[in-house]
């Protein structure tokens, strides 16, 4: 016999995990656009030094994405 409380809790965990996975996908998409913009800028004459703050932002986003993914994995998501 299924418990309504357990069913509700399971649904909430599933929804939360789905939201977290969506956040990861969104962050990765933004990061890919930043990386593409940096590559295009480099191809058009910008220097790596000029673009370092943007490259640093991309690296920070990668670190945060990995931390979020690890947290989801730790939850069993």
Category of 45 on φ-ψ map: left (φ > 0), alpha (ψ -120 to 50) or beta:
left
pTM of the model as a whole = 0.72
Q: Which residue has the higher pLDDT, 32 or 13?
A: 32
pLDDT at 77: 56
Taking the C-alpha atoms of residue 51 and residue 63, their distance in angstroms, rounded to an integer, is: 19
Give the confidence band of 1 by pLDDT, cuts at 50, 70, 90: low
pLDDT digits (tens, 9 = 90+) for 26-54: 888 889 999 999 999 999 999 999 999 99
Cα torsion angle, 19, 25, 29, 35, sign:
positive
Q: Quick: pLDDT tens for 48-76.
A: 999 999 999 999 999 999 998 888 788 76
């Amino acid at each position: 016999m299924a418990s309504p409380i357990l069913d509700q809790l399971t649904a909430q965990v599933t929804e939360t995990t789905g939201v977290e996975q969506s956040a990861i996908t969104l962050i990765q998409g933004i990061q890919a656009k930043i990386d593409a913009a940096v590559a295009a800028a480099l191809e058009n004459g910008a220097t790596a030094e000029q673009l370092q703050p943007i490259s640093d932002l991309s690296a920070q986003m990668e670190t945060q994405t990995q931390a979020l993914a690890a947290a989801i994995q730790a939850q069993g998501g």
